[in-house]
Amino acid sequence: MSTSRKIIHIDMDAFYASVEQRDNPSLKGQPVVVGGKPDSRGVVCAASYEARRFGIHSAMPCSRAWRLCPQAVFVPPRFEVYRSVSQQIREIFQRYTDRIEPLSLDEAYLDVTYSEQAGGSATLMAQEIRREIVQRTGLTASAGVSNNKFLAKAASDFNKPDGITVVLPEQAEDFVAQLEIRRFQGVGPVTQKKMQAEGIFTGADLRQRSLAELRQLFGKSADYFYNIARGRDDRPVESDRERKSIGAETTFETDLSDVPQMLSVLNNLAESVVGHLQRRELCATTLTIKVKYSDFQQVTRSYTDARGFDAAADLIACFPWLLSRTEAATRPVRLLGVSVSGLKSLDGMRQLRFEL
């Protein structure tokens, strides 16, 4: 890997649930669901591996999770604690590189191409990072190492939990060929069903399709699918100083039709986004929600406030109005996203507020 980029993807194992099991030893080995109460209209934020065996997953209605596993232990989320632990993990990353692209509180890309740590070996760096995370937080993480973001992320999911997978450039095509389509970043449940209906179940199947065929089937996503089927991905790791917006989104395994559950999902996403803002001591002036319907039509709705947003409550207060400006109440929704832009330093924004 010495002649190409060196990318590490670190993904914490069942992060929220693992923190709860760490802090409450009686929960260890139990099916833990972090989210609303089982009789509420809330959604699952996270599920321990013990709970996942029953088919429970994030963004699932808590009532359904309870039906799947009545013995599950439901605990409310503690986002302040998760953000604090995430900051500890981030400090470990910074000892290896300043090119860090967080995707959420529990996962990030690291570009270590020019890092001299561990003799310049990305594999050894990933091993050291995982050991340091355990030592400092008591939590485990999985890692993927390769020469691009797609391969690194797929690799980190390949040997979970508490595993590491390295994909060398010369191994890329063989690695992708045996991957199930559901493991491909960018392939959600609806796209997966569409691919499978076309006889595409693995990376090898996807590679058999021409670019023209893929464009006919998947439109503007075709070029991305064509390239990742061959292990290619030129996207750079975007460090904090390069980012003009911060966002988080989730795709549902089953389309949502219940507005209160959608608002619950948006509220959880807001906590993640605000965590990123607070770690960087930033404030945002524009809030945007993204809604993708079951037919893949996508809309965004935004609100700008010169006073800025720097707390989850600020975002959450806007969601009912923003969502009401979409057709979410009458059309099934397969994806929801929250992003903020117009990023400014928190100190500068506080001074502006004082002057106003």
User: What phi-psi label fits residue 55: left (phi over 0), alpha (psi between -120 and 50 degrees) or beta?
Assistant: left
Of 136, 166, 16, residue with least CA distance to 76:
16
Say if CB 79 and CB 253 are below 8 A apart.
no
Of 303, 302, 310, residue with least CA distance to 348:
310
Structure tokens belonging to residue 341: 């832009």
Q: How many residues does the chain have?
A: 356
Paired residues of 343 in beta bridges:
284
Of 330, 336, 326, residue with least CA distance to 292:
336
Question: Rounded CA gap, 158 and 144, in Å?
Answer: 8
Question: Rounded CA gap, 303 and 11, in Å?
Answer: 32
Question: Rounded CA gap, 23 and 28, in Å?
Answer: 10
Structure tokens belonging to residue 325: 């400006």
Say if CB 33 and CB 44 are below 8 A apart.
yes
What residues act catalytically? 107
- 235 DSSP 8-state letter: P
E strands, the chain, in order = 7-12, 32-35, 44-47, 73-75, 100-104, 107-111, 141-146, 164-166, 245-256, 282-293, 298-309, 333-345
Structure tokens belonging to residue 2: 């010495």
Q: In this structure, how many other beta carbons lie within 10 angstroms of the beta carbon of residue 243? A: 16
Q: Which amino acid is at 184?
A: F
